[in-house]
Amino acid sequence: MRGKLYSVGIGPGDPELMTLKSVRLLKECDVVAIPQGDNGILTAKAIVNNVVNLDEKEQVMIYMPMTKDMAAMDKAHREGADAIEKLLDEGKNVVFITLGCPTVYATCIYVHKLVLADGYDAELVAGVTSICAVAAKLNTSLCERAEPLIVLPGSYKESSKFLDGPGNKVLMKSASEIGRVRDELREKGLIKNAGMVERCGLPGEKVYYDLEEIDPKSSYFSVILVKEKEFDK
């Protein structure tokens, strides 16, 4: 009998934001699939290890390149899916951990969809998103009453056109484009309406209520919240 894949959100960084379901699945599963980037740092594993000792589990590393090269990404995703499917064929249940929630700009979703398309049983397990954690850290709401909320990938210049529209905006994964995003917010008169949290819930966390103070080389794990009106700081 084949095993089942669970793509599990472990929250943005604070291990206390891991859900009860994620902890249960991690304790019960046969294998934990761990995302590994180009720098070799295992951020997701470090978070989970505060709650569940993954070194007591069988592990498989899933390479996730930090690139916009579609061919390179497709290759890595296919290799990751193949590695997981091999374990599923052995009858093992696999938990693929991912930061935040697997439904919001998560790299694991591409592997998950491949495994599902290949006819395997696979389930998405929601986690606390970084955008919710960042709003809480800034002590403000994401949206109220009839306010729209727009979530954007900040590293893509195409996102800029949405800044002029109505609603509150969240810019995720701005990475090397943070300086450009800050400059655009200044030009549009929105910089006083914005706050940012870098590495929310992780070591080295920084909270910015003034985006003029941010480092253009801020961490990949930086989320900017832009509100229609200046929020209390």
Q: For residue 31, what is the enclosing H or E element?
A: strand 31-36
pTM of the model: 0.89
Q: Number of helices (H) and strands (E), helices first, in the chain? A: 6, 10
Query: Both tokens of residue 177?
Result: 């484009």
Are 10 and 107 contained in the same domain? yes
Write the pLDDT tens digit of every residue in 195-223.
Answer: 999 999 999 999 999 888 888 778 778 99
Are 139 and 188 contained in the same domain? yes
Write the pLDDT tens digit of every residue in 156-165.
Answer: 777 777 888 8
Average pLDDT in the chain: 90
Helices 70-89 and 108-117 pack at an angle, to 10 degrees, of: 60
Are 195 and 147 contained in the same domain? yes
Q: 3-class DSSP state for residue 141?
A: coil
Which residue range(s) make up the domain with 192?
130-226
- Domain at 152, CATH number: 3.30.950.10
Q: 3-class DSSP state for residue 175?
A: helix
